[in-house]
């Protein structure tokens, strides 16, 4: 029955009672609870939804000392009224609407479900009515989050962040993190963010208040161990670097330049203290994600002797405990990525018991089952952290994203994870437009609320109705299928796609990969298949009819995304021809013209949602192809 209404997340228990509530043009929204002020925003959202969907104008009052026949909706808080925290009961009878919960968050979630019902009813009926029903609903994971990377080139505008928070709150996400390396405007460290268009303290204060009103916890996120190259590349901070000149990575290559701060340098902890002292007062959350992932250079520089004496994992854990003590001293709970701990799983039990481990992995077959069981046995609370699988792709990896999100939800729930954090990264230029992440955000939110009930969700339909609001029913399918064109290619690189590599790698690197494959003709056939699929998707994008204020921008973003992948196909075909001695000047000129158009449109769609800082770095990755076509 919940499928009939297409609600997201789908309510756990929904019973249609074969009737209708005729929505009057005037009625009262009554808020009733120990502190009515905590319910005002939810009531206002309901009033706005009624007005938008039906044209009704309902007043908001507090208390039940009003004529019963004037009550259109009763929003009540009552301890013990529902079985689960954040749960709610929603009833629509032929007389009125009732939502009851034991906490304000639960009541807010009931209103979000009701808003979807009203939108569905107004879109599907000529009369202004809503179906009579009963809903009893609650979440699987108490903490349901989204993390957005704002340090790999893209720093969103405040307008973009506010709009995204609104979207996430509507689908019952209750935590939001902005992954930060160098993009918070530290007043004592202006050198680090000078060209990054950072988020300021005042902006965080405003965003925090905006999130709180929508029952979203804005969790501070600042990497404090690895991923600090944007700090350490400056001479003023280089003395803190573990390996100033670079280090060997676990991915098979030597990375130039510094990356992590060194546990062997006492002043490293001073920098962490400085970060925490300035950053934390801007957030009402009592948590902080301190990062701590991928510290691959540890032991390859200034801490080499210490690592030889105590072992790499122990040196890592010792420094992590020092960071923990600084976080604890400031009254916060530490979140930390769990990848380094998983290198020696026996160390999991040595993590502080009131820290939160973040078990992350972004492939469909990531060992969430094994790793979740280890953290569960250690007694340390943990989140599972899948990804949207759209970075390093331009257009996404739908099949992988679905498998990754499902794997995390199923095994996190089985092993007692206290949170589910959907991550969206921006590696190598952050080329993917924000709407490409909607598939991961919306399906992940559904799984985080009710894993079993959302497993078989019709994702394209759900995206059409809730994310894109396309009355022609096309954009959800476009997003889904565009993210699956990578499956038409035999080569599927880890955490990326072949088409993305074609756009990022040099001709010599690409031809070397072709020679390893030893099958140029099959590659041509695959590129032709991809090209045909992309051309068909472009036609569907043009025929979409999204009922969103940014519909035109989304259409441009998806057209650019599709054109980028089309360019990848044509680029690789040209390289194959060139290798066989058929370097057609007309083809080369056509590619140069395409690239110029892509660069111009990249500029336009980037600045429509994001600040200027970081754009030149991202654009340069694309512009370097110009030399190939010269």
Question: Are the beta carbons of 26 and 53 closer than 8 angstroms?
Answer: no
Q: Which tens digit of pLDDT belongs to each residue from 51-110? A: 998 899 999 999 989 999 999 999 999 988 898 999 999 999 999 999 999 999 999 999
CA distance 77 to 93: 19
Least confident of 34-48, 114-128, 479-493: 114-128
- Helix, strand, coil content of the chain in percent (nearest 5): 50, 15, 35
Angle among Cα 581, 584, 589 to the nearest 5 degrees reads: 140
Q: Among 82-86, 123-127, 498-502, which range has the highest average pLDDT?
A: 498-502
Q: What's residue 512's pLDDT?
A: 87
Instruction: Please state, rounded to an integer, the average pLDDT across all residues of the chain.
Output: 95
Given a cut of 50, is residue 3 above it in pLDDT?
no
Cα dihedral 110, 116, 122, 127 in deg (nearest 10): -30
Torsions phi, psi for 72 (to 5 deg): -95, -35
Q: What's residue 1's pLDDT?
A: 37
Q: Which tens digit of pLDDT belongs to each residue from 542-570? A: 999 999 999 999 999 999 999 999 999 99
Residue 396 sits in a domain whose CATH number is: 3.20.20.80
Q: Strand 175-179 relative to strand 28-32: parallel, antiparallel, unpaired?
A: unpaired
β-partners of residue 248 are 254
Q: Is residue 117 included in any domain, yes or no?
A: yes
Q: What's residue 583's pLDDT?
A: 86
Q: Which tens digit of pLDDT belongs to each residue from 11-67? A: 999 999 989 999 999 999 999 999 999 999 999 999 999 999 889 999 999 998 999
Pairwise pLDDT comparison (347 vs 110), residue with the higher score: 110
Q: Which two tokens stand for residue 548?
A: 């969103």
Q: Which two tokens stand for residue 319?
A: 């420094």
Given a cut of 70, is residue 519 above it in pLDDT?
no
Q: What's residue 2's pLDDT?
A: 43
Cis peptide before 549 (omega within 30 of 0): no
CA distance 116 to 126: 17
Same domain, 422 and 508: no
Percent of the chain with pLDDT over 70: 98
Q: What's residue 552's pLDDT?
A: 98
Pairwise pLDDT comparison (139 vs 3), residue with the higher score: 139
Q: Which one, of 141, 144, 149, 130, lies nearest residue 90 by Cα? A: 130
Same domain, 452 and 542: no
Same domain, 502 and 450: no
Q: Residue for token digits 């309902």?
A: 58
**Residue span of the structural domain in which 63 resides:** 2-137
Given a cut of 50, is residue 316 above it in pLDDT?
yes
Other Cβ atoms less than 10 A from the Cβ of 244: the count is 19
C-alpha pair distances (Å), 586 with each of 175, 468, 528: 52, 39, 19
Same domain, 192 and 290: yes
Same domain, 167 and 302: yes
Q: Is residue 528 included in any domain, yes or no?
A: yes
Q: What's residue 520's pLDDT?
A: 67
Residue 68 sits in a domain whose CATH number is: 3.30.379.10
User: How many structural domains is the chain composed of?
Assistant: 3
Given a cut of 60, is residue 126 above it in pLDDT?
no
β-partners of residue 219 are 177
Q: What's residue 614's pLDDT?
A: 96
Last residue of a domain, one of 396, 428, 457: 457
Pairwise pLDDT comparison (518 vs 618), residue with the higher score: 618
Last residue of a domain, one of 96, 115, 137: 137
Q: Is residue 30 included in any domain, yes or no?
A: yes
Q: Residue for token digits 């009552």?
A: 78
Calculate mean pLDDT across residues 317-339.
98
Same domain, 427 and 516: no
Q: What's residue 123's pLDDT?
A: 53
H/E segment holding residue 113: helix 104-124
Least confident of 122-136, 267-281, 608-622: 122-136
Question: Are the beta carbons of 243 and 229 closer than 8 angstroms?
Answer: no
Q: Which one, of 495, 470, 290, lies nearest residue 397 by Cα? A: 495
Given a cut of 80, is residue 124 above it in pLDDT?
no
């Amino acid at each position: 029955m919940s499928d009939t209404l297409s609600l997201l997340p789908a309510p756990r228990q929904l019973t249609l009672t074969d009737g209708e509530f005729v929505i009057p043009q005037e009625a009262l929204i009554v808020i009733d609870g120990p502190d009515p002020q905590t319910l005002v925003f939810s009531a206002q959202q309901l009033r706005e939804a009624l007005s938008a969907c039906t044209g009704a104008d309902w007043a908001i009052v507090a208390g039940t000392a009003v004529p019963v026949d004037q009550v259109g909706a009763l929003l009540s808080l009552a301890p013990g009224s529902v079985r689960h925290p954040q749960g709610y009961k929603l009833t629509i009878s032929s007389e009125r609407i009732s939502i009851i919960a034991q906490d304000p968050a639960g009541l807010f979630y009931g209103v979000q479900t009701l808003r979807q019902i009203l939108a569905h009813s107004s879109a599907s009926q000529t009369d202004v009515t809503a179906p009579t029903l009963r809903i009893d609903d609650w979440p699987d994971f108490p903490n349901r989050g989204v993390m957005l990377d704002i340090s790999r080139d893209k720093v969103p505008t405040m307008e973009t962040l506010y709009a995204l928070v609104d979207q996430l709150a509507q689908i019952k996400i209750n935590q939001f993190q902005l992954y930060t390396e160098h993009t918070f405007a530290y007043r004592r460290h202006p050198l680090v963010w000078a060209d990054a268009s950072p988020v300021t303290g005042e902006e965080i204060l405003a965003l925090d208040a905006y999130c709180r009103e929508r029952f979203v916890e804005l969790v501070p996120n600042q990497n404090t161990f690895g991923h600090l190259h944007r700090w350490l590349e400056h001479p003023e901070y280089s003395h803190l670097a573990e390996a100033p000149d670079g280090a060997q990575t676990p991915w098979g290559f030597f990375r130039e330049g510094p990356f992590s701060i060194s546990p062997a340098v006492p002043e490293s902890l001073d920098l962490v203290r400085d970060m925490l002292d300035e950053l934390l007062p801007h957030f009402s959350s009592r948590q902080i994600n301190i990062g701590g992932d991928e510290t691959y250079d540890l032991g390859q520089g200034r801490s080499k002797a210490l690592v030889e004496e105590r072992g790499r994992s122990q040196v890592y854990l010792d420094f992590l405990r020092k960071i923990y003590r600084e976080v604890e001293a400031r009254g916060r709970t530490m979140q930390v990525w769990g990848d380094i701990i998983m290198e020696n799983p026996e160390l999991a039990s040595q993590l502080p018991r009131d820290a939160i481990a973040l078990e992350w992995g972004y492939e469909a077959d990531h060992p969430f089952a094994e790793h979740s069981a280890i953290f569960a046995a250690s007694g340390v609370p943990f989140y599972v952290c899948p990804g949207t699988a759209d970075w390093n792709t331009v257009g996404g990896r739908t099949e992988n994203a679905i498998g990754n999100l499902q794997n995390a939800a199923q095994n996190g729930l089985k092993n007692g994870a206290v949170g589910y954090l959907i991550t969206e990264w921006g590696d190598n230029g952050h080329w993917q437009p924000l709407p490409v992440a909607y598939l991961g955000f919306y399906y992940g939110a559904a799984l985080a609320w009710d894993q079993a009930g959302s497993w078989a969700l019709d994702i394209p339909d759900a995206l059409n109705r809730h994310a894109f609001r396309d009355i022609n029913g096309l954009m959800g399918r476009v997003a889904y299928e565009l993210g699956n064109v990578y499956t038409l290619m035999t080569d599927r690189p880890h955490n990326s796609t072949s088409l993305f590599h074609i756009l990022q790698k040099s001709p010599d690197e690409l031809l070397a990969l072709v020679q390893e494959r030893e099958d140029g003709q099959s590659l041509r056939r695959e590129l032709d298949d991809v090209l045909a699929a992309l051309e068909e998707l472009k036609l569907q994008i043009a025929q979409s009819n999204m009922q969103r204020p940014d519909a035109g921008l989304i259409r441009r973003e998806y057209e650019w995304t599709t054109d980028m992948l089309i360019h990848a196909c044509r680029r690789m075909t040209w390289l194959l021809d060139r290798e066989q001695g058929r370097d057609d000047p007309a083809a080369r000129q056509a590619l140069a013209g395409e690239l110029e158009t892509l660069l111009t449109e990249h500029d336009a769609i980037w600045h429509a949602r994001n600040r200027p800082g970081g754009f030149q770095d991202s654009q340069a990755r694309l512009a370097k192809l110009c030399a190939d076509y010269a």
